[in-house]
Structure 1
Amino acid sequence: MSVQAGVVFLLTFSGFSVLADSSLTFPENARNGARIVSGWEAEEGQFPFQLSLRMVSPVGAVTACGGSIVHPEWAITAAHCTATRISVVIRIGAVNLTRPYSIFETTEYYNHPLYNEAMQGVVQPNDIGVVKFNRKLVFNDRVQPIRIHRSADMNRNYAGIRLTASGWGLTWTQGSSPENLNWVYLSGTSNFECLSAFGGSSIIQSSTICARGYNETTQSICQGDSGGPLTVVEEDGQLSLVGVSSFVSGTGCHTDFPAGFIRPGYYHDWYLEVTGINFDWDFEEPEPEPVPESESDSESESESETEESLESNESDSDSSESDSDSENSESSESNEAESLKILKPVIAY
């Protein structure tokens, strides 16, 4: 694949600078708008943590994004989705958007302090935010939280690992938005490979995770998928949220370039500061299964019988050894006497 590095220029704000790279764009703005590209339709309950967000701007414009439930009162999404918006309409438990489990509105969200909302139209690092529901969700088979990637693995290299992305992006080039949730497998790429693909863009940082087509080059995220989840099945067999959809190549969604996600495991201290909740975690060691009391008694009796048997065998063995020693002693003395008779000296004449 040839690298098509775009023009970059320096922007400075809030005391630090980033490179705005025209080879990168938000999924909403990518040329040849497409969907969760080359994926499949989700089934009811397949992604119970997935949210559909509709953000309303001060002038009434509406944009669409995704998000993930991480707590009965909190969700995670991309900062560029909620920045400068006055309200967020949330659909939960939805696969088909016309049949959500619940729909409500909130006005409370918090974007990471290193994300500059005044430059919302520019791809930035730290593109992550949390949304607070104006209620406490009741979980069921259609509405469930997903755990945030743990901080201990925040720098883990997922190159070649199968990941999953989901969302309600457009179905194909210049197509219409689907009512049904779509999902796709992606293959994780190293940050080095992602940097190479985007000409060394400073947007690709340690807090970035990239992924490209799993078994087809067109597989990717796209329009309407920003803020949505990138997940992996961990060693304990459970899902973790390892990425928040952030950007794609400016050449289009279904071109052979990686898509970019923000690693949520980088921000546990900030979540705690904003929400008062510690979302970090660690693998639990499996506890040994308790032995039923009846089996324990049986094992104790068996051990006692075994010990008695061993003691009996040892006693018989000692008795046998004693008799054998006595016989051996008598035999030895007899042989010794015979030897003396044979060896008795005689006078030679």
Structure 2
Amino acid sequence: MDWFKEFYTKSFCIIIIFLTLASLIISENEDNFGSHNQINSRLNNNKITKRVVIKKIKTTTRAKRFESKSCGVASIEPSIDFSKLQRIINGNSANPNSWPWLVSIRRLENSGYYHYCAGSIISPQYVITAAHCIADHKNRSYVVFVGINDLNDKNNSKNPYYIKEFKIHSSFDKNLNSDIALLKLNQSIQFSKKISPICLPSNKNGSFLYGKSVVVIGWGSTNGFAAQNFLSNTLLQAVLQIKNYQIGSQCKGFDERNYCALDTDSTDKKFSNICFGDSGGSLMHFSNGMWYLYGISSFIFGNVDTKQCFNYIPSFYTIVPNFLDWIKTNI
């Protein structure tokens, strides 16, 4: 596509952006946006080169708690219309609590907890998210808020769940390979109409989703820039399409270990996409009356100088079907 070729010929600095809010809550005088959000990857012939492995995390927990007969069903109907695009950047609000599995992961900064990433409830005691969201958990304090629609609603933020155990995939590295983690909460979540788990797919074939429409959700930046005041207070949603790496030019040449998703329906060039604050959130597909978690928001390209993510090029997601055995073994 012409716009894609043009993107790679521009003279600005391109990075792959962690979609966390690390850069939003540091001092404005501290020039470390690049070091905090830039992955040590290089773009060579449209390919991402990734290296380095971190240590393995062991667990002996069995998988019996994994199954749920009431997953993937929202008591409050989502306002998704696949014929009309809803955006996270410049987006439309979701119906309150229509995505009851999405959680706000917050990190202690100075005197308070700030929204940092999102995650998805998959069982009464486990949340799944992106590994890079909590990679520094030994030096930071995190909490999880459930049943949230408005980030500023104090009534919904009184009782956080504390994290008892962090489980990061052994193959996760700074280049976002295997960008997946499990959070074991200090107590079981009490499910309700506003709080319930999403289903995990039973099919391990991730290519099943190629060419299909998916929904992504989050509280991330609504204009593409990295600033705390650009976050959406209310939960937003967007419809994207999963692209086949071998067909078409948008995703060809990128690392096939991640889903590549793109807004293919925009008629006004205001493309939908994820951005800062959306990391760890749900990429969902609707099938047989239930919502399934097929992807985890991982990264997107951006400009290190303007601290901006680009909504008009593909975004990338951890492929959950590739990690089903790991998930079942670790919960």
Mapping for residues 227-238 of structure 1, pairs under 5 Å: 227-234=280-287, 236-238=288-290
Q: CA deviation at 1:128?
A: 0.6
- For the pair shown, the structure with the greater C-alpha radius of gyration is 1
Mapping for residues 255-274 of structure 1, pairs under 5 Å: 255-274=311-330
Aligned to 1:39: 91
Cα distance in 1 for residues equivalent to 2:170 and 2:224? 35
CA deviation profile, 1:211-263 (whole Å, cap 9, x unmatched)? 111422520000100000010111x1211011100011225534421110011
Q: Mind listing any 5+ residue stretches in structure 2 that lack a counterpart?
A: 24-32, 35-86
CA contact (8 A) 1:220 1:259 kept: yes
Mapping for residues 76-115 of structure 1, pairs under 5 Å: 76-85=128-137, 86-97=140-151, 98=153, 99-100=155-156, 102-115=159-172
CA contact (8 A) 1:191 1:208 kept: no
Q: CA deviation at 1:63?
A: 6.2
Aligned to 2:218: 167
Q: Percent identity?
A: 26
Q: CA deviation at 1:154?
A: 2.4
- Structure 1 vs Structure 2 CA RMSD: 3.1
CA contact (8 A) 1:56 1:63 kept: no
Aligned to 1:9: none
Counterpart secondary structure, 2:322: helix
CA contact (8 A) 1:38 1:184 kept: no
CA contact (8 A) 2:224 2:275 kept: no
Instruction: Return the letter of the residue paired with 1:264.
Output: V
Instruction: Return the letter of the residue paired with 2:89.
Output: V
Q: Mind listing any 5+ residue stretches in structure 1 that lack a counterpart?
A: 7-20, 276-349
Cα distance in 2 for residues equivalent to 1:137 and 1:115? 27
Q: TM-score, normalised by structure 1?
A: 0.63
Instruction: Return the letter of the residue paired with 2:145.
Output: R
Q: TM-score, normalised by structure 2?
A: 0.67
Taking a change above 3 Å as real, the CA distance of residues 152 and 270 of structure 1, as seen in their structure-2 partners, is closer
Q: CA deviation at 1:90?
A: 0.7
Instruction: Return the letter of the residue paired with 1:270.
Output: W
| Greater CA drift, 129-138 or 150-159 | 150-159
Aligned pair count reads: 248
Aligned to 2:59: none
CA deviation profile, 1:251-297 (whole Å, cap 9, x unmatched)? 5534421110011111122112222xxxxxxxxxxxxxxxxxxxxxx
Mapping for residues 108-123 of structure 1, pairs under 5 Å: 108-116=165-173, 119=174, 123=175
CA contact (8 A) 1:40 1:183 kept: yes
Instruction: Return the letter of the residue paired with 1:165.
Output: V
Aligned to 2:277: 224
Aligned to 2:233: 179
CA contact (8 A) 2:117 2:281 kept: yes
CA deviation profile, 1:96-153 (whole Å, cap 9, x unmatched)? 122427422224211110013xx3xxx3221011111111111110001001122343
Counterpart secondary structure, 1:192: coil
Cα distance in 2 for residues equivalent to 1:100 and 1:214? 35
1:209 aligns with 2:259: yes
Q: CA deviation at 1:62?
A: 5.8
Taking a change above 3 Å as real, the CA distance of residues 40 and 239 of structure 1, as seen in their structure-2 partners, is same
Q: CA deviation at 1:43?
A: 1.9
Q: Which has the higher contact order (CA 8 A, sep 6+)?
A: 2
Cα distance in 1 for residues equivalent to 2:265 and 2:252? 24
Cα distance in 2 for residues equivalent to 1:184 and 1:157? 17
Cα distance in 1 for residues equivalent to 2:313 and 2:328? 34
CA contact (8 A) 1:92 1:143 kept: yes
Relative to total residues, which structure has the larger helix share, 1 or 2?
Answer: 1
Q: CA deviation at 1:84?
A: 1.3
CA contact (8 A) 1:51 1:68 kept: yes
CA deviation profile, 1:176-221 (whole Å, cap 9, x unmatched)? 3222111111122112368x546734xx22x311111142252000
Aligned to 2:19: 27
Cα distance in 2 for residues equivalent to 1:157 and 1:240? 11
Cα distance in 2 for residues equivalent to 1:130 and 1:96? 24
Instruction: Return the letter of the residue paired with 1:228.
Output: G
CA contact (8 A) 1:5 1:199 kept: no
Cα distance in 2 for residues equivalent to 1:273 and 1:80? 21
Cα distance in 2 for residues equivalent to 1:186 and 1:108? 33
Q: CA deviation at 1:65?
A: 0.3
